[in-house]
Amino acid sequence: MKALIYRDVKKIEMHEIPVPDCGPDDVIVRNIRSGICGSDVAGYLYGTMSSGIFPGREFGHEMVGYVDKVGKNVRDIAEGSRVFVNPNTTVRDPWDSDMAGAFSQYVRVLNACLDYNIFPLPDSLSFDNAVLIEPFSVGTHGKNRPGIKPGDNVLIYGAGTIGLCALNALIAQGNKNVAVADLSDKRLALAESMGAIPCNPRRESIQQYLVKYFGEVQSNTPVITMNGPSITLSPGRALNIDAVIDCAGAPNIAADFLNMAKPGAVLSCIAVQKKDVPLNFRQIMSTEAVIMGSRGYNNTDIQEVISNLAMNNTRVTDIISHTFRLSEFETAFETAADPDTAIKVVFDME
| This prediction's pTM | 0.95
Which DSSP letter does residue 100 get? Answer: S
**Phi, psi dihedral angles at 93 (to 5 degrees):** -110, 120
Report the CATH number at residue 78.
3.90.180.10
Do 101 and 143 lie in one domain? The reply is no
Cβ pair 144, 53 in contact under 8 A: no
Q: What b-and-e string marks burial along 175-189, b requiring 16 or more CB atoms within 10 Å of the CB? A: bebbbbbbebeebbe
Domain check: are 154 and 281 in the same one? yes
Per-residue pLDDT of the chain (350 residues; tens, 9 = 90+): 999 999 999 999 999 999 999 999 999 999 999 999 999 999 999 999 888 899 999 999 999 999 999 999 999 999 999 999 999 999 988 889 999 999 999 999 999 999 999 999 999 999 999 999 999 999 999 999 999 999 999 999 999 999 999 999 999 999 999 999 999 999 999 999 999 999 999 998 999 999 999 999 988 877 778 887 778 777 788 999 999 999 999 999 999 999 998 999 999 999 988 889 999 998 899 899 999 999 999 999 999 999 999 999 999 999 999 999 999 999 999 999 999 999 999 999 99
How many Å is the maximal CA-CA distance in the chain? 83
Q: Residue 301 domain-assigned?
A: no
Let me know: does 279 contact 253? Beta carbons within 8 Å: no
Q: Are residues 167 and 256 in the same domain?
A: yes
Domain count, the chain: 2
Per-residue model confidence (pLDDT) at position 225 = 81
- What integer pLDDT is reported at residue 231 of this predicted model? 83
Asked if residue 233 lies in contact with residue 222, where contact means CB atoms within 8 angstroms, the answer is yes
pLDDT recorded at residue 292 = 98
Per-residue pLDDT at 293: 97
Check residue 232 and give its pLDDT.
77
Which residues, including other chains, have CB under 8 Å from residue 296's CB and lie 6 or more apart? Answer: 88, 137, 138, 141
Looking at residue 171, which CATH number applies to its domain? 3.40.50.720
- What is the per-residue pLDDT for 176? 95
Containing structural domain, residue 71: 2-131+315-348
Contact 236, 261 (CB under 8 A): no
Do 226 and 261 lie in one domain? The reply is: yes
Residue 305 included in any domain: no
